[in-house]
Amino acid sequence: VGSEKINTDIITLTRFLTEEQVKHKEATGDFTLLCHALQFAFKSIAYYIRRATLINLTGLAGTSNTTGDDQKKLDVIGNDLFIGAMRSCGRVRLVVSEEEEELITFDEYPNARYAVACDPIDGSSNLDAGVSVGTIFSIFKLADDAKGTKEDLLLPGTEMVASGFTMYGASAQLVITMKGGSVNGFTLDNSFGEFILTHPNMRIPKKRAIYSVNEGNSLYWEEPVKEYINSLKFPQEGGKPYSARYIGSMVADAYRTLLYGGIFAYPADKKSPKGKLRILYECAPMAMVFENAGGLAVDSHMNRMLEVVPEHIHDRSGIFMGSHDEVAKVIEVHKKHQ
Ligand code: AHM
Ligand code: MG
């Protein structure tokens, strides 16, 4: 290998965070420390997922979470790793996790200024088959008069300071964005043990003929959703039908959509009138990534996803997100039906 081909000016996540902090003169370093703890959580979750089959971590833990889903052993480990990292960084006051019914408060850090919502291992029904899963997170800065209760977190996504996800796939891919900023993608280099900036300033293609939805729910869909999906499958004369891609792990479906373009949908329907995915740690953080990458994200009422306010910490919403032009079509069909 010619030495001229080796990149010796590698941007690690650590370096990236340091450079971001320098750009913000008012920064205290708290957010940077929190992100260091986050990246440790991702690395350790990635490690256990990789080794799961070898060290007897597949299968159920024998418990169920907030919504009655059976918890996998890895759900429990992922949750504990994530919460442990957030607690130990000393900069987080509150954590909401999909795996914990109640808000978690770190009373040992009453002055910590951040709150984090997460789904530690999203898509865990795919785990034992070795299919990609991921961690989704959103970070909020607490108001000065925050009381350290659930109400502090019943905020629209527009209040997030940062959000993103890590996909544990062929490699671990971290995608992170900050308020009003660009979207950056990092790949975990296992030999360095570092996330390396491999996808700077990610931009979602403006359109692409790929749709991603669980069609097994089509019996329960509302009219506009049926009409919209049908228009993709049975285009007007001369048009080419869309390709279908559905992994059933939101993080993996979202990551592909971000890179290739298209649309991902989990609409509210007659069976789940509020939708399936959770606002605080699934819909809102993804919406911020998609908007900051030039795409769009709306709920089933065609409201901007980032403006939806959860009524409780585990509240759900329908979601359509993806390329600008694809989401625009969804909105157009729904408008017709109003
Ligand atoms: P989970 O948080 O219990 O893993 O559920 C969320 C997952 C998403 O990753 C995915 O988009 C969706 O549920 C798939 O649901 P379905 O099996 O109904 O298609
Ligand atoms: Mg989930």
- How much is the ipTM here? 0.95
* Helices of type H across the chain: 13-23, 30-51, 73-89, 223-233, 250-260, 284-292, 324-337
Query: What per-residue confidence (pLDDT) applies to 71?
Result: 73
Q: Which residue's CA lies nearest to atom 5 of ligand 1?
A: 123
Query: What per-residue confidence (pLDDT) applies to 338?
Result: 86
Q: CB-hemisphere CA count at 13 Å for 311? A: 3
Q: Which atom in ligand 1 lies closest to the alpha carbon of residue 264? A: 11
Question: Which CA distances in Å does 85 have to 14, 78, 79?
Answer: 16, 11, 10
Q: Which residue's CA lies nearest to atom 12 of ligand 1?
A: 248
Query: What per-residue confidence (pLDDT) applies to 2?
Result: 59
- Token look-up 């989704």 returns 136
Which ligand is the nearest neighbour of the Cα of 126?
1
* C-alpha of residue 82 to centroid of ligand 2, in Å: 14
Q: How far is CA 247 from the centre of its chain?
A: 15
Query: What per-residue confidence (pLDDT) applies to 54?
Result: 75
Query: What per-residue confidence (pLDDT) applies to 335?
Result: 96
* Ligand 1 neighbours (beta carbon < 6 A): 69, 98, 119, 122-124, 214, 248-250, 266, 276
* C-alpha of residue 122 to centroid of ligand 2, in Å: 4
pLDDT tens, residue order, the chain (338 aa): 556 788 899 999 999 999 999 988 888 999 999 999 999 999 999 999 988 777 777 777 777 776 666 677 888 999 999 999 999 999 999 999 999 999 999 999 999 999 999 999 999 888 888 899 999 999 999 999 999 999 999 999 999 999 999 999 999 999 999 999 999 999 999 999 999 999 999 999 999 999 999 999 999 999 999 999 999 999 998 899 999 999 999 999 999 999 999 999 999 999 999 999 999 999 999 999 999 999 999 999 999 999 999 999 999 999 999 999 999 999 999 999 98
Q: Give the SS3 label for residue 72.
A: strand
